[in-house]
Structure formats: structure tokens, C-alpha cells
Chain A
């Protein structure tokens, strides 16, 4: 039986899973009354049924002067731990600087780049940086280095350098788009 609150009709790719056993959301400290609930069908409690969702993340902030790269990572980790999926992480504006492999964080600060890379490898996450925003900020992969005849490529290989179309395509393909602005 498939049941879902809020009407499956709104969710064209609806995949409703019964997850009463080992429900990943049990790690949440939200009490059911703490968040506004969609009305549930009679006799069906919202938490009995969960649907796996696809999220995409836009990350806009400079890793050195904003928290957004950090928060986005914490959110991405919680997303995977909750059983949902990350379709793509798109770094735009100053967010593209996270891909610069020349970052040397002080020993007493966390290495955000390293954390993103490890997390992405572990979960086969697609990390992308916007090519136009990256070029402007001196974040170049080998192709762009050669194209513009610059001295050195500095994009960590875990990141693909892509066009803005990837940002829009991800938003179209996902259930939710979440932006961490700078």
C-alpha cells in the first residue's frame, strides 16, 4: 500500500517507501509537533511513510569569508544520513573558491576542502563549479589552463568545471533546490 501525506499528485516522481524499520529520520531531534505538518490521510501518521527525495545544493559563499561552504557540507551529510540523496552540488559566485587545491588552512582550523572531497568520494557525490565564475576568480582546471595559457591549473580533480546549464538542469531534476548564499 502506498500512502503519503500532502498528496502524491504534487510529486511526479513520487517514490513512497515504508521505512518503519530502521527509519533514518529517528536521528532527528524534531518532535512531530515542532514543524508544520502536511495533513495526513486519516489513520496514517506522517512518520510511518517516507519518500526518498533528491536535493540539489547551490553554494555561493567564499570559504574564507562566509560560512556557507561549511553549512552546506553539514546539510549534505545530514541529507545522506537521512536516506535522501544529493543530485549535485553546484558552487557558484565566490563558492567556486572551495575547489582551489592550493588552499592551506591553518592547522587549528578545519580543512573544508578535504572534508568535501572525502564526503563526496564516500557517497559518489557530484561536485561542480561554474566555469564562468571560476575563470573570473582564477580557479582553473587543466583544460581551461591550456585554453587561456595560464601558469597552473588549481582545481582539485574531485570537482568538475561545468556550465551554468548544470545548475538549472539540477534544479529541474530535483525535488528540492537549496541555496547557501554568501
Chain B
């Protein structure tokens, strides 16, 4: 097994988005003291689909909208998202899912 070094910027975002894979995601999450569960993964895959469809990292509101449509009403709220990705869920999700830093983070 080869060791690879993955370049992160000072805020912990990937410098090269192509470095992302599920192992990388787990390490990026661990650096934030998050252990990835199924609930985390379905959100990670959701934002990666969002990015491949729209080529923008979702802000909070479109994130909640997508969660409502794809994962159901009971998960479509910021409390749920904050429990899994504390602080700023849209930004943290983008980081762990290997998306660019949201240009519209305020």
C-alpha cells in the first residue's frame, strides 16, 4: 500500500478536488472530530450529487431543500444537519465531501 500525501489549504479544504475518495472523506471528518456514520454518508453523497449537477457548493437553504426532497421532511432542518456537521453544516459538508469552499458563504 502506498502512502499518499493530500494537500489541504489552511482551512482544511482539499487543494485538488480529484484527491477526494471515501478514505479521504473519513480522514477529513476525523480531523473535525466527526466519525462518519450512514447518516453522514447520505448527506455527503447528496452534496456531491448537487455539485455534479450544478457546479456550485450548496448554501444552507438549497441544502435543506435537497434534503427534504431526497431524504424526507424529518431530516430537512438545520438542527438535524448541525447534529451531524456542527457549526456551519453547509461549509463543513463541502469540506468533507471534497467540494470547493462555497463562494457564497457569508
- Which residues of A does B touch, CB under 8 Å? 132, 146-149, 163-165
Select A132's contact among B11, B103, B106, beta carbons within 8 Å. B103
A39 vs chain B, min Cβ distance (A): 41
A146 & B104 in contact (Cβ 8 Å cutoff): no
Residue of A nearest to B103 (CB): A132
A136 vs chain B, min Cβ distance (A): 10
Interface SS majority for chain B: loop
B9: chain A residues at CB < 8 Å are 147-148
A147 & B11 in contact (Cβ 8 Å cutoff): yes
Q: List 15 A-B contacts (CB under 8 A).
A: A132-B103, A146-B10, A147-B9, A147-B10, A147-B11, A148-B9, A148-B10, A149-B10, A163-B104, A163-B105, A163-B106, A164-B103, A164-B104, A165-B104, A165-B106
Alpha-carbon distance between A148 and B9 when the two chains are bound, in angstroms: 6
B10: chain A residues at CB < 8 Å are 146-149
B18 vs chain A, min Cβ distance (A): 18
A10 vs chain B, min Cβ distance (A): 29
Alpha-carbon distance between A163 and B11 when the two chains are bound, in angstroms: 16
Residue of A nearest to B10 (CB): A147
Residue of A nearest to B105 (CB): A163
A51 vs chain B, min Cβ distance (A): 31
A170 vs chain B, min Cβ distance (A): 13
A146: chain B residues at CB < 8 Å are 10
A57 vs chain B, min Cβ distance (A): 21
Q: Mark B8-47, 1 if CB is under 8 A from A, else 0.
A: 0111000000000000000000000000000000000000
B91 vs chain A, min Cβ distance (A): 12
Alpha-carbon distance between A164 and B59 when the two chains are bound, in angstroms: 13
B11: chain A residues at CB < 8 Å are 147
A148: chain B residues at CB < 8 Å are 9-10
Alpha-carbon distance between A163 and B104 when the two chains are bound, in angstroms: 7
Alpha-carbon distance between A127 and B19 when the two chains are bound, in angstroms: 37
